[in-house]
Amino acid sequence: MAAPEKRIPTPYKFLFGGGAGCCAVLFVHPLDLMKNRMQMSGLGVRTKEHRTTFHLMVHIIRNEGLLALYNGFTAGLFRQATYTTTRLGVFTWLFDVFTVDGQTPGLSLKVGLGMVAGLCGAIVGTPAEVTWIRMTSDNRLPPEKRRNYKHVFDALIRIKREEGIKTWWRGLVPTMARFVVVNGAQLSSYTQSKQLLLETEKFREGILLHFCASMIAGFVTSVISLPVDIVKTRVQNMARINGGQTNPIPIVTGIFKSEGILAFWKGFTPYYMGIGPYTVLSFIFLEQFYRAYRKYSRD
């Protein structure tokens, strides 16, 4: 009879979740940066600052240098260390709580747990989200309007000093909405696509199955969540000291009137190409952390 699988303590699940997110963002940060830049393009006018994602990438490399694709990377790491650590840690903890006599939660309950975890992650991770959005979009501003944050902690300190500590949680409501939508859509679409792929008998459990299911789930999640993400991005990039509008409703109507309905899906390609690989990579790293703990831990 096989020995029971070693149980991983809850604190380690939080730690491994954040670590997996940090490892994944090493690869997808440039895509996130381009998504953010495209969402901010045409702000307030009906125009296309960049025709395609490739056009934007060439523009950044040519005008700012190759390393500019990693602008705001410290904020990206901080975002994973806060939001992802909380989200995955809370979800796995709740999953264990609601697993009774070996019976795991059903799909609807999993979606609900994911939404709760997303809300918790939003509350903890919004300050990092604000700094990340500002740092990744700073170079698209005229030189005299750039904030020029040195790193994420410099950004946090200056935001508190110049705009007040409440600005750390600017856009909290749309951030929570975005994370609820992402977690709900991602979990349900991943589960369903994985089941359908297995029924074709061309797939079996493994990295290929997880990759394909994650890319499908990423597409569904992107279509549903990108409009919320764009509004959140616009809110968090505004500075109250410059008279910026921070009420989501006028921002939504403003985008619709001045930029058109399709503006809500600006940056779709890098957004989708970020969510899919990020999901795959984060879970691969997470499983490796779990495997290493079970192999080397003496607990």
Is the pLDDT assigned to residue 2 strictly greater than 50? no
What amino acid occupies position 281? L
CB-CB neighbours of 208 under 10 Å: 12
Give the residue ranges of DSSP H helices in the chain: 10-40, 53-64, 73-79, 85-97, 107-137, 152-163, 172-199, 207-237, 248-259, 268-296
CB 102 within 8 A of CB 7: no
Give percent above pLDDT 70 in the chain. Answer: 88
Give the closest residue to 274 by CA, choosing from 90, 76, 127, 122: 76
- The whole-number average pLDDT for the span 136-157 is 89
Of 16-25, 155-164, 187-196, 283-292, give the lowest mean pLDDT range.
187-196
Query: In a 3-state reduction of DSSP, which class is residue 214?
Result: helix
Mean pLDDT of 118-129: 90
How far CA 293 is from CA of 7, 284, 286, in Å, comes to 10, 14, 11
Nearest Cα to 124, choosing from 14, 49, 234?
Answer: 14
The CA-CA-CA angle for residues 254, 245, 152, to 5°, reads 120
DSSP 128-161: HHHHHHHHHHGGGS-GGG----SSHHHHHHHHHH
Give the Cα separation of 212 and 203 in Å (integer).
10
Name 12's Cβ contacts closer than 8 Å, sequence gap at least 6: 293
Q: Give the phi and the psi of residue 265 in degrees, each rounded to 5.
A: -120, 25
> Which pLDDT does position 74 carry in this prediction?
95
Q: Tens digit of pLDDT for each residue in 275-285?
A: 777 878 887 88
- Residues 6 or more apart from 186 whose CB is under 8 A from it? 114, 217, 218, 220, 221, 275, 279
Q: Which domains does the chain have, with CATH numbers?
A: 10-296 (1.50.40.10)
